[in-house]
Amino acid sequence: MPTDELIVSDTSPLLNLALIEQLPLLESQFSRITVPEQVWDELAAGEGVLDGLKELRDTEFLHVVEVPRSNLFTEIRHELDRGESAAICYAIEHGADLILLDEKDGRQVARRHDLTMTGVVGILLRGAKDGQIELADELDSLREAGFWISDDLYSEVLSRAENL
């Protein structure tokens, strides 16, 4: 159920949900998602999946914001790409309730700053819990789209879904 929390997203969760045609999960779970311009630029550079994301931006569900190059941004940028750096920086500076991140390095930086996070797999898990999707099918679709999920994580996520 959507809430009024501040949710900030990096590129990967949005892109991967678009690739497997599961963007509606975002709207069912959140009231709005804040996306730094740097993340939007990365999404716009992709091919074929931008239409659904543009629709979400046009309805203001995806709220694109400017993230200036602060000292914090510069510090984080030494470890991460522009989009991840901007998303984490914005989340820290604005007290985000949740950040959507998939990449290991980004998650490590987010943990150092005590950010609460989830990624595309967590969003799918929530969708399965709510009965919106068949989890194994969507995990398979993610893999087919090029998202790497280890066999151990795949099994663990399916097991967690069964226990919900």
Ranges of beta strands (E only) in 70-160 are: 98-100, 117-118
pLDDT tens, residue by residue, 54-72: 999 999 999 999 999 899 9
Provide the CATH number for the domain formed by 7-162 in this structure: 3.40.50.1010
- For residues 97 and 94, give the distance between their C-alpha atoms in angstroms, rounded to a whole number: 9
In the predicted structure, residue 49 carries a pLDDT above the cut 60: yes
Question: In this predicted structure, what is the pLDDT of residue 48?
Answer: 64
The mean per-residue pLDDT over the stretch 5-10 comes to 97
Task: Give domain limits for the chain.
Answer: 7-162
Backbone angles phi, psi at 44, to 5 degrees: -65, -25
Ranges of beta strands (E only) in the chain are: 7-9, 33-36, 62-65, 98-100, 117-118
pLDDT tens, residue by residue, 101-145: 999 999 999 999 999 999 999 999 999 999 999 999 999 999 999
Other C-beta atoms closer than 10 Å to the C-beta of 37 total: 15
Question: In this predicted structure, what is the pLDDT of residue 45?
Answer: 83
**DSSP sequence for 68-79:** ---HHHHHHHTT
